[in-house]
Structure 1
Amino acid sequence: MESPMPVLANKTLQEFFKVFLIHKGSTQLQLPTSFTKFFNEIAPCKVTLVDQDGKCLDVKLEKIEGRLVFKNGWQQFTQEKNLEEGDFLVFQYDGMSTFNVKIFSKTGCKKVAAPPNSEKIVPIVNLEEDSNQHSNKNQSNGACPSKGAR
């Protein structure tokens, strides 16, 4: 039987952030200890994570050794979102059972999701051909004088 979902008394959304560390957060993610006060000692069994694109995933919220952690479903979330070491996650809790999650890469910019079933495209560059085209272009339009022309 699932525990009743808590409701925030002041109805304001509560937020916390976590820096994703593979060795600590790939299979489960611990919520900040001070954040557990918003659950009034009652941890919901299932919560929904909603990413910045509106995609939802159910994750089990468990109490392990007195700490709340995202557990079953968290690993799937990390894989689907291609979380990498140092990604910055901002969680916004609605007071019921939903966490909106904003994901930023370690560059500080919002992380853009890769299209589903897409493979990483690695461009093939022929350096010799590219170098010849570049030097021919520079010679033809006079954009960069050669070293000998000074």
Structure 2
Amino acid sequence: MKAVKEADTYDACPEFRIIFFAVESSEHLKIPPTFNKKLEGVFPSDYILESRGKTWRVTVKELDDHLLYLENGWTEFVKDSALVSGDFLVFSYMGNSKFHVGIWDKKGCRKKIPDTKAITTTKKPCNTFQVTLRPAYLRYVNIPKEIGKLLNNQTKCTLKVANNSWVVNCGGYECNRPRFGAGLIQFYKDNKVKVGDTVTFKLISEHDTAFTVDISKRS
């Protein structure tokens, strides 16, 4: 009965939901504009995040585009919660500048916050990263270092959407910062990708450096 009452309480609160991607959200988290409207333009300078009986204080920063981001303190929440790309988070606003955060893993199971003292330093590299397309990304997209290490200094990568594929350059290894380059513009053109769209790249094969690509159009 306690679990049912708890669920009812959170369901009645304003909330927003995100899929966590380490490349985009490890250092800060964008609060969806649609959620901001629910608070009628009144925002505190910081929030308390509560999950599994633990709390974190995070600051709120507003950028020039009037978007709000959770910053200072957010990285500690990410680390302490052992968040990985693909985790599903639900932020329920409880009032008094406090969010309850529910966390589920990629299998749909509620995730427990581990004892940070028991976390080992061994970490399996993530094979997925996401970018929201900006003008600078029309000609190139940086590939996270941990994924770049899996490419074994290859100079060509394959991007796949459904049954179609495109070959793009993936050079720039001198600083361990590989990037998609030549061929990317044609990929965007053929898939009608525009600035503001969100593109998710998933490495599916280390042997032929192939990525599946999911494109979410800006609403």
Q: Structure 2 length normalisation: TM-score?
A: 0.47
Q: Which amino acid aligns with 1:78?
A: V
How big is each residue's C-alpha offset from its partner over 1:39-81, in whole Å with a ceiling of 9 and x where there is no partner? 3223210110001x11000000121220111111111110110
Q: Report the equivalent of 1:57.
A: 56
Residues 16 and 91 of structure 2 are in contact (CA less than 8 Å); yes or no, is this contact kept in structure 1?
yes
Residues 79-103 of structure 1, C-alpha deviations (whole Å, 9 max, x = no match): 1100000000000002320000000
Q: Distance in 2 between matches of 1:50 and 1:108?
A: 20
Per mean C-alpha deviation after superposition, the further-off stretch among 84-93 and 60-69 is 60-69
Higher relative contact order (CA 8 A, sep 6+): 1
AA aligned to 2:87 is D
3-state SS, counterpart of residue 117 of structure 1: helix
- What's the secondary structure of 2:77's corresponding residue? helix
Structure 2, unaligned stretches of length 5 or more? Answer: 1-11, 123-219
Number of corresponding residues: 110
SS in 1 for 2:116: coil
2:91 counterpart residue number: 91
Contact 1:17–1:89 (8 Å) recurs in 2: yes
Matched, 1:29 2:29: yes
CA deviation profile, 1:1-31 (whole Å, cap 9, x unmatched): xxxxxxxxxxx51111000011110011111
What is the root-mean-square deviation in Å for CA atoms of aligned residues?
Answer: 1.8
CA contact (8 A) 1:16 1:92 kept: yes
Q: Please list every run of 5 or more consecutive structure 1 residues that lacks an aligned counterpart in the other structure.
A: 1-11, 123-150
Task: Determine which structure has the larger strand proportion and give its number.
Answer: 2
